[in-house]
Structure 1
């Protein structure tokens, strides 16, 4: 069901994305358009909105505790099985291999949960990109300066993507890391100190 809905979204959004972008623009342009005078600020705040939405949806749908446990279990499992093979302990290897399907099942459950935010992110983020591209292309002056260039177009392609997308990625990466780590810290703060003691497999 999830994959079917994702496919529908990908087919529908190219058609309805620009329409939604227009209506998103009715809200966004008065807030962060700055009458076209500060396009870099518009880019920054657009990235901030997208990152906040992405982080909130991801944090809402992702069980960070289960993800942390799954990652730690997988790490310890790999260490234990490597140790058993190195020591030639075939009985230990067999016991660990019997545990592997259950570990893989838990990893699959956790990873499937991280896909759920994509449905909402596409619905919200795609229209924002549509509006941002339209907004920037409508500016009378869509150039910015760099230490090594006096005039760079937002729509030039220095490396595969247009410059405005690179600027968005830089802004969103920096701000996104701070927001995501903060949300993770809130989710993890009361349990992490006991994780290893609870989930490390017995060495017997």
Structure 2
């Protein structure tokens, strides 16, 4: 692992610890912006959907323009085809082909490592924007205490039940967004993640498509210029 990658990981950890330590303050500060999607705490699931969309969009756009999605897709395809051929050679016991592929393996591994390094370089920048949004969602769902109630969920809110509980009706049952599923994993983070993942995949493909069209247009212009010359 390169020193730059290690520094990137260290920076991400610093951001995470800083946000975890000051999430109340960070969430409160960001509420100046995100209060418009809070809807006064009346529609917490909708708020999670919008916040998740904003978070994943920021992350996807940053990665899309700081990295080269076309190059990444090409490398992934090369690695996939290589692994496919390697498996096939082992199944067929084709020693000659297997030897050739094993000679190429260091290059493929180097390509994979470089791709991981490139992703780690972008991660600190992405986390700088993404993790504070988690702090705001925590602030949004916080019920506070008797002396210092939460801004959106307190005794005057219909969704609020008792201290620490934010109940919402789902098609199958009522759930507490501040509850835990397993290993103290909050329900709201699970919902937040389930919302973000498919949206991120769609946006990532759209960005790749946009950049691919841009690259093809550039190549087309170069070909036409070469023909004229």
Regarding TM over 0.5, the answer is yes
Question: SS of the residue aligned with 2:169?
Answer: strand
Structure 1: stretches of 5+ with no match in the other structure: 192-204
Q: Give the gaps of 5 or more residues in structure 2.
A: 1-6, 143-149, 161-165, 217-229
Q: 2:70·2:208 contact (CA, 8 Å) conserved in 1?
A: no
Separation in structure 1 between the aligned mates of residue 63 and residue 45 of structure 2, nearest angstrom: 27
Q: Are the structure 2 counterparts of residues 19 and 64 from structure 1 closer, same or farther at C-alpha, using a change threshold of 3 Å? A: same
Contact 2:169 2:175 in 1 (8 A): yes
Q: 1:152 to 1:9 in 2, by over 3 A?
A: closer
Deviations 1:14-72, CA, capped at 9 Å, x for gaps: 2244432221112111x212222222222121111111111112212332222222222
1:61 and 1:116 in contact (8 A); partners too: no
* TM-score of the pair, normalised by structure 1: 0.77
Q: 1:84 offset after TM fit, Å?
A: 5.0
Partner of residue 137 from structure 2, selected from 128, 132, 141: 132
Partner residue of 1:61 out of 62, 66, 91: 66
Higher relative contact order structure (alpha carbons within 8 Å, sequence separation ≥ 6): 1
Partner of 2:196: 172
Q: Could you say which residue in structure 2 is the equivalent of 1:163?
A: 187
- Secondary structure of the 1:115 match is helix
Q: CA RMSD in A?
A: 2.6
Please point out which of 75, 78, 100 is paired with 2:105.
100
Question: SS state of the match for residue 114, structure 1?
Answer: helix
Q: Distance in 1 between matches of 2:116 and 2:18?
A: 25
CA contact (8 A) 1:66 1:110 kept: no
**Normalising by the residue count of structure 2, what TM-score does the alignment of the two structures yield?**
0.69
Distance 1:65 1:180, change over 3 A: closer
Aligned length: 188
Q: Does the 8 Å CA contact 2:20/2:135 hold for their aligned counterparts?
A: no
